[in-house]
Amino acid sequence: MFRNQYDHDVSIWSPQGRLYQIEYAMEAVKQGAATVALKSNTHVVLCALKRAPSELSAHQKKIMFIDDHIGVSIAGLASDARIL
């Protein structure tokens, strides 16, 4: 896709009735890896797919531990969650 004058904001419609920022977000979702969380009365399991976009890049860390009681799993693109 190419950038144009209608892709600067999520609320700007193109003359064709398209919201380019929404389309870009949907493409980013397709590129991200899935995560799953399972909870029982005694355990919690976080699972994340580790896939590299190409053979030349490294896997990205998708599960991070905050402390002994809190863990975070990133769904989608890891670069979008780095600020957290």
Q: What mean pLDDT is predicted for residues 11-27?
A: 82
CB-side neighbour CA atoms (13 Å) of 55? 0
Query: Is residue 37 located within the same domain as residue 26?
Result: no
Residue 10's pLDDT is 67
Residue 32's pLDDT is 72
Q: Could you tell me how many helices (H) and strands (E) the chain has, helices first?
A: 1, 4
Query: Is residue 19 located within the same domain as residue 40?
Result: no
Query: Is residue 37 located within the same domain as residue 8?
Result: no
Q: Domain residues for 27? A: 1-31
| pTM (2 d.p.) | 0.49
Residue 17's pLDDT is 85
pLDDT band at 4 (very low <50, low <70, confident <90, very high): low
Query: Is residue 23 located within the same domain as residue 36?
Result: no
Q: In this predicted model, what pLDDT tens digit does every residue of 22-59 receive, in sequence order?
A: 888 788 777 777 788 899 999 989 888 876 666 776 66
Look at the chain and report how many structural domains it folds into: 2
